[in-house]
Amino acid sequence: MKNKTDGQKDLSKKDGMTRREMLKMSAVAGTGIAIGATGLGGILSVVDQVDKVFDKEMAQADEGVPFYGKTQAGIITEQQTYCYLASFDLETESKADVIALFKKWTKFADLTASGGALSDADNDMLPPSDTGEADGLGTGNLTVTIGYGASFFMKNGRDRFGVNAKRPKHLVTVPHMAHDSLDAAYSDGDLCMQVCADDQQVAFHGVRNFIRLATGVATVRWLEEGFIRSPEGETPRNLFGFKDGTANVDHASKQGFADVVWAAADEPAWMKNGSYLGYRKIQMLLEVWDRSSLMDQEDTFGRHKHSGAPYGKKKEHDKVNPAKLPTDAHVRLAKDTKQQMHRRAYSYTSGVDAKTGRLEAGLLFICFTQNPETQYLPMLHVMGKMDKLNEYTIPIGNALFACQGGIQAGEYFGQALLQ
């Protein structure tokens, strides 16, 4: 999907000079022959023409990632560079309020994914409809993914919107895991909105306006901001410098996604082509890690740092032989559960701990599964108890959300659930 960006990249740098610059130079050279007739004004007008043609070309190449579709974008979409993950609590007990919010959110999600903005009310006495900072920046391949937490269905023993009968089968409470040090301020929530894009300003504009549109109906419980980038076509590296997401290729096929990611047939109808988003905010103790030997670092995962190859093999995507990995290596523990998941994690940084001077940084671990009870929780249990990675990490936030199937044109978020 996201290889739609390739068109944009072709239009930018070529051997140190952008195509826009090259076109301008050759156009100006051509004009120069007739300089006597046109003068400087003529040259400037040619430059202006080239800019216009180029902007049009860029706009045509920037189709973005469609918002409407069979499945929600942002789940198996090729990972963008930036991510905002927002969790909301609904402040209303009225289903009509929730529907009104979801209608506004849907309209905005479609607009922002196609590079548009809310149209201005043209009333000087009112705030502008759109905050404006993404004006002209294009789509940035923005995706919006909505998820529903257990508290959307039942809160304080109440079926608040009368939809608990349609609760997804595996939207369970994630039990406390050994080694967890969870903070409620980073955990749970009635709803989540994952906004990803290749342009941070575009992504922020998206999440900011979802928050703004929710005023009076939902408040932000927590908001996380992540980034991850890799050379074209390569697996990105996390802040420990290891390739993160390698095993995703194992299920990167239609059938693979059907088996690993998309909800099973026995789920409520609105979850058809949906998934579950498992989330952990995991602090990474960078200073401790940076003092550990390369051997210790590689033993932690059972993979080589530079190549990403599993122990006993040469290349990143060579088949893992768990028996060759240390018994407490992260990858071995995951493999031994014989389960798969689709991981889409982002790194985060948030300054320095004022007391210790330690860097505040880590991983916004995000995974999508068909059934978190079988694919995800057993892994969390075993990792919490045995993972060598625990020497360097502390889970501080946790949430589980059910992500509905794709939204069709004319429909709004949650329509099949709330109707």
Residues that bind ligand HEM (CB under 6 A): 238, 240, 242-247, 280, 282, 284, 301, 303, 320, 330-331, 334-335, 341, 363, 365, 376, 379-380, 383, 389, 393
CB atoms within 10 A of CB 175: 11
Q: How far is the CB of 296 from ligand HEM (least distance, A)?
A: 14
Task: Give the integer Cα–Cα distance in Å for 315 and 216.
Answer: 53
Q: How far is the CB of 154 from ligand HEM (least distance, A)?
A: 25
Measured from the CB atom, the residue of 372 and 405 that comes closer to ligand HEM is 372
**Sequence letter at residue 4:** K
Q: How far is the CB of 229 from ligand HEM (least distance, A)?
A: 16
**Sequence letter at residue 357:** G
Q: How far is the CB of 257 from ligand HEM (least distance, A)?
A: 15
List, as one string, the DSSP characters of 158-179. Answer: B-TTS-GGG--TT-PPPPP-TT
Q: How far is the CB of 309 from ligand HEM (least distance, A)?
A: 10
Measured from the CB atom, the residue of 24 and 343 that comes closer to ligand HEM is 343
Q: How far is the CB of 380 from ligand HEM (least distance, A)?
A: 5
Measured from the CB atom, the residue of 204 and 376 that comes closer to ligand HEM is 376
Q: 10 near 88, Cβ under 8 Å?
A: no
**Cα(first)–Cα(last) distance of the chain, in Å?**
31
Task: Give the integer Cα–Cα distance in Å for 143 and 80.
Answer: 9
Measured from the CB atom, the residue of 97 and 336 that comes closer to ligand HEM is 336
Measured from the CB atom, the residue of 106 and 187 that comes closer to ligand HEM is 187
DSSP 8-class letter at 263: P
Measured from the CB atom, the residue of 169 and 313 that comes closer to ligand HEM is 313
Measured from the CB atom, the residue of 210 and 240 that comes closer to ligand HEM is 240
Task: Give the integer Cα–Cα distance in Å for 344 and 196.
Answer: 11
Residue 121 CA, distance from chain mean position: 31
Measured from the CB atom, the residue of 202 and 363 that comes closer to ligand HEM is 363
Residues in CB range of 3: below 8 A, 6 or more apart: 78
Task: Give the integer Cα–Cα distance in Å for 23 and 302.
Answer: 50
**Sequence letter at residue 15:** D
SS3 336: helix
Q: How far is the CB of 279 from ligand HEM (least distance, A)?
A: 10
List, as one string, the DSSP characters of 47-114. Answer: HHHHHHHHHHHHHHH-----SSSSS-TTSSSPPPSEEEEEEEEE----HHHHHHHHHHHHHHHHHHHT
Q: Where are the alpha helices (DSSP H) in 179-265?
A: 200-213, 254-260
Q: How far is the CB of 297 from ligand HEM (least distance, A)?
A: 10
Measured from the CB atom, the residue of 270 and 365 that comes closer to ligand HEM is 365
Measured from the CB atom, the residue of 301 and 311 that comes closer to ligand HEM is 301
Task: Give the integer Cα–Cα distance in Å for 382 and 162.
Answer: 36
Task: Give the integer Cα–Cα distance in Å for 234 and 313.
Answer: 18
Q: How far is the CB of 3 from ligand HEM (least distance, A)?
A: 21
Strand pairing report for 191-197 and 143-148: antiparallel
Q: How far is the CB of 223 from ligand HEM (least distance, A)?
A: 20
Measured from the CB atom, the residue of 242 and 401 that comes closer to ligand HEM is 242
Q: How far is the CB of 367 from ligand HEM (least distance, A)?
A: 6
Sign for the CA dihedral angle at 207, 210, 213, 214 comes to negative
